[in-house]
Amino acid sequence: MTQPTGVDDRRSLHVRLSVVQYTLAVVFCALTVSFWIFQVVQHAQFKEIAESQYLQRVPLPAPRGLLMDRHGTILVENKDSFNIVLLRERAKDIDRTLETLAAATGVEVGPLREIVERRRREPAYRPIVLIPDATEPQVIAMRARRLEMPGVEELPVPTRRYGADFGAHLFGYVGEVTETQLQRADYKELNAGAIVGQAGLEHAYNALLMGTEGAKDVIVNSRGREIKVLDQEQAVVGTPLQLTIDADLQQSAEDGFKHYGMVHAGRPYNGAAVVLDPRSGEVLSLVSLPAYDPNKFAVGIDRATWASLTTDKERPLQNRALQATYSPGSTFKIVVATAAMEEGVATPDFRVHCNGGATFYGRRFACWNKSGHGSVDMRHAIEQSCNVYFYTLGQMLGVDRIHKWASALGLGEINGIDLPNEVSGLVPSEAWKQRVRKERWYPGETISVAIGQGQVNVTPLSLAVMMMTVANGGTRYTPHLLKGVDRGKGLEPFTPPPPRSQVRMKDSTVRALREGLWLAVNGAGTAGRARLEGRDVSGKTGTAQVISLTGALRARGKIDVRDHGWFVFMAPRDNPVLAGVIFAEHAEHGYFGASIAKHIIDTYFAKLEGRPLPKLEKPPATNVIAAATPTPQRSGGTQ
């Protein structure tokens, strides 16, 4: 049946078998050489790639240091919030997953798709944050439907928590470190994505508050799941800081703006308040309104909110207390009085007769009181804010001596508070005008400056410093917010910065100023609303014109042209423990600010003496409109 192989066939078969055998042997040798090249020659390179695939360093964010007030009340803390994230490696159908998530949590699916699309090019194991700072119901809804959407997870993130409507400009906010910050030497150690302070104290004391980021080395599988922790370096919590702020005083100031704004204008006042301890420069309260909600920045602010904050005409991001300047109005008379007495130009008993106006350098300057104040001395000129008296002092002093004393009291100067972006304001001098305007100073201009008009512009903070310096007799302490630092061994007092400048004012000057300011509140002056039984509150109102009278007519209806109101104060008159400023935008009269100051001072003493803190009654809804109707009073002066 089968054909036995012939000799020829057999030979040919053997040759061909040998060919096959040798060929296969050569191929196997080639394969062996290939493996040699990959496994031995290029081993180090492949080993590194393999390790980079499964070894990963995961940063452990350090919680930021707590902020507490001078009595230890916690003002800013950290809480875990939950981000809902997508791990693409584990997700099956991303489109459907997003739809399910959107339906479960009640968010729009469009923006979720955009987020994923935007980060498409990143490595797939890196989680994409879909819903930052998810609400509790959202997290619960997500957990309930987790099986339907593999790859969707919750990720706890330590998050800053701030009180609502409280000290926003004081604390500032945190956010991801920016590209430009990363270029700077003090941010060199940080990685992209690190959370740093971007405004306020969070920014000023970022280095202390940040702590040190930890890290863990983990083994991950191809789906990015953590399999084993190899090494862990704990994060070091940021340094807790004790502030000079008194939480109750801060709250009373914030409440005051809301309450008296509602009473007098039908809406909360915008503005600023600074309260200092004139014995040390400690800031007890610092308010700027309108404010923003710093919590919104804590887990990454969305674009819409950011845009509305930056384009808002009311500028909620600006800290009015130190980043904006206004005309000081009559509060500047305190500076002129100080200069006159200290320079020996006038004594406290120096008298001027006011009949409603006076002529200087050929031009008539009016007093706000057209019927005149009659003969007034220094104290009563301050009490009644007599323009003619201060015109006269201004003419006698000249602008340079006014400038000298304004600077000594902190006006037109940087006062060095530990908050970012303080501006200096301006008090003019002859040299300034020559330098900036390339013109010589006209003596007539000094007359306007003497009542706080013309070129004079100041920050609310600098007026508080002025009151502090007057209150303590000449020491211009650096206003500061940091009282103590806890470096792990309990609170250690923080050494305050040295005073910015110091003069020794004459006792007679100090006494005359105190009496004049006391009379303004407790006598026939304009600040009666700040009067507080037994507290000897002393102070002075002022109005800052927003726009000239003719301009006001032109701009009618387009912008708010009502004047700003000032109230500067100290309490008590002898050995003051409080000094400060209230600035109420478009309040028209300084005496509305006096009401706010009274509430703050009342709160201070109530707390000091252990009495229940004063409460502001809710304003009745009626009468508001009537009270808000402005009473025009622009007879060319300030009160």
Determine, following the binding rule CB under 8 A, whether residue 80 of this chain makes contact with other proteins. Answer: no
The sheet with strand 55-60 has its strands ordered as 55-60, 214-220, 226-233
CB of 291 to other proteins, least distance (A): 47
State in angstroms the smallest separation of the CB of 16 from other proteins.
Answer: 6
5 scored as a contact of other proteins (CB under 8 A)? yes
Minimum Å gap between C-beta 214 and other proteins is 24
Residue position matching structure tokens 């090019």? 121
Query: Which one, 212 or 221, has the nearer CB to other proteins?
Result: 221
Residue 53 is a binding residue for other proteins (CB under 8 A): yes
Specify the residue, 88 or 586, whose C-beta has the smaller distance to other proteins: 88
Dihedral sign from CA coordinates of 278, 284, 289, 291: positive
> What does DSSP assign to residue 330?
G
The reply to whether 40 sits near other proteins by the rule CB under 8 A is yes
Q: How many CB atoms lie within 10 A of CB 63?
A: 19
Nearer to other proteins, 229 or 524 (CB): 229
Distance CA 500, CA 414 (A): 9
- Whether residue 290 is preceded by a cis peptide bond, meaning omega within 30 degrees of 0, is yes
Interaction of residue 11 with other proteins, rule CB under 8 A: no
Closer to other proteins by Cβ: residue 178 or 222: 222
CB of 115 to other proteins, least distance (A): 20
Contacts for 433 with CB less than 8 Å, ≥ 6 apart: 439, 440, 441
CA nearest neighbour of 594 among 633, 538, 635: 538
Shortest separation between residue 120's beta carbon and other proteins, angstroms: 11
Smallest gap, in angstroms, from Cβ of residue 55 to other proteins?
Answer: 9
The footprint of other proteins on this chain (CB under 8 A) covers a number of residues equal to 42
Strands (E) in 113-200, as ranges, are 128-134, 152-162, 174-176, 195-197
From 2, 191, 495, 631, residue interacting with other proteins (rule: CB under 8 A)? 2
Q: What are phi and psi of 80, to 5 degrees?
A: -75, 130
Q: Does 223 bind other proteins (CB under 8 A)?
A: yes
User: Given the complex with other proteins, which of 3 and 622 has the nearer CB atom?
Assistant: 3
Q: Is 361 in the site for other proteins (CB under 8 A)?
A: no
Q: Does 49 bind other proteins (CB under 8 A)?
A: yes
Picking from 162, 164, 160, 161, the residue whose alpha carbon sits closest to that of residue 255 is: 164
**517 vs 536: CA distance, rounded Å:** 10
Cβ closer to other proteins: 123 or 490?
123
33 forms part of the interface with other proteins (CB under 8 A)? no
Binding residue for other proteins, selected from 36, 229, 431, 551, defined by CB under 8 A:
36
Is the CB of 42 or the CB of 623 nearer to other proteins?
42
Which of 364-369's residues contact partners 24+ apart within 8 Å by CB, and which partners? 365/391, 365/447, 365/448, 365/636, 366/635, 366/636, 366/637, 367/637, 368/633, 368/635, 368/636, 368/637, 368/638, 368/639
By CB under 8 A, tell whether 31 contacts other proteins. yes
The Cβ-side half-sphere exposure at 138, using a 13 Å CA radius, reads 19
User: Taking the complex as a whole, how short is the minimal distance between the CB of residue 424 and other proteins, in angstroms?
Assistant: 57
Q: Is 43 in the site for other proteins (CB under 8 A)?
A: yes
Q: Is residue 94 a contact point for other proteins (CB under 8 A)?
A: no
Asked if 62 and 78 touch (Cβ cutoff 8 Å), the reply is: no
Does the protein bind other proteins through residue 57 (CB under 8 A)? no
Q: Which part of the chain contacts other proteins (CB under 8 A), choosing from 69-77, 220-228, 366-374, 533-541?
A: 220-228
CA distance linking residue 25 with residue 33, whole number of Å = 12
CA angle 98, 102, 108 (to 5 degrees): 105
Strand, helix or coil for residue 126: coil
Least Cβ distance, residue 5 to other proteins (angstroms): 5
Which C-beta is closer to other proteins: that of 47 or that of 71?
47
DSSP letters, 558-577, are: TS--PPEEEEEEEESSSS-S
Give 506-533 as a DSSP string.
-HHHHHHHHHHHHHHHHSSSS-GGG--T
With CB under 8 A as the contact rule, the residue among 135, 178, 222, 232 that binds other proteins is 222
Q: From the list 7, 11, 17, 265, which residue makes contact with other proteins (rule: CB under 8 A)?
A: 17
CB of residue 219 to other proteins, shortest distance in Å: 7
- Of 36 and 442, the one with the shorter C-beta distance to other proteins is 36
For the beta carbon of residue 99, count every other beta carbon within 10 angstroms: 15
* Residue 75 CA: distances (Å) to CA of 133, 170, 363, 419: 20, 11, 55, 17
For the CB of residue 40, give the shortest distance to other proteins in the complex, in Å.
Answer: 6
**Does residue number 122 form part of the binding site for other proteins (CB under 8 A)?**
no
Does 114 bind other proteins (CB under 8 A)? Our answer is no
- For other proteins, the binding residue among 73, 135, 212, 221 (CB under 8 A) is 221
In angstroms, the CA 67 to CA 418 distance is: 15
Tell me which of 227, 304, 621, 625 binds other proteins, using CB under 8 A. Answer: 227
Is residue 14 near other proteins by the rule CB under 8 A? yes
Q: Please say which residue, 4 or 362, places its beta carbon nearer to other proteins.
A: 4
Secondary structure (DSSP) of 270-313: PEEEEEEETTTTEEEEEEEES---THHHHT---HHHHHHHHH-T
Interface region with other proteins, contact rule CB under 8 A, candidates 66-74, 216-224, 279-287, 319-327: 216-224
**Does the protein bind other proteins through residue 92 (CB under 8 A)?**
no
Residue 492: burial class (beta carbons within 10 Å; 0-12, 13-18, 19+): exposed
34 binds other proteins (CB under 8 A): yes
Given the rule CB under 8 A, which of 51-59, 200-208, 587-595, 631-639 is the region that contacts other proteins? 51-59
Residues in the chain: 639
**Should residue 442 be labelled a site residue for other proteins when binding is judged by CB under 8 A?**
no
Q: Binding residues for other proteins, per CB under 8 A?
A: 1-5, 9, 12-14, 16-17, 20-21, 24-25, 27-28, 31-32, 34-36, 38-40, 42-43, 45-47, 49-51, 53-54, 124, 219-223, 227
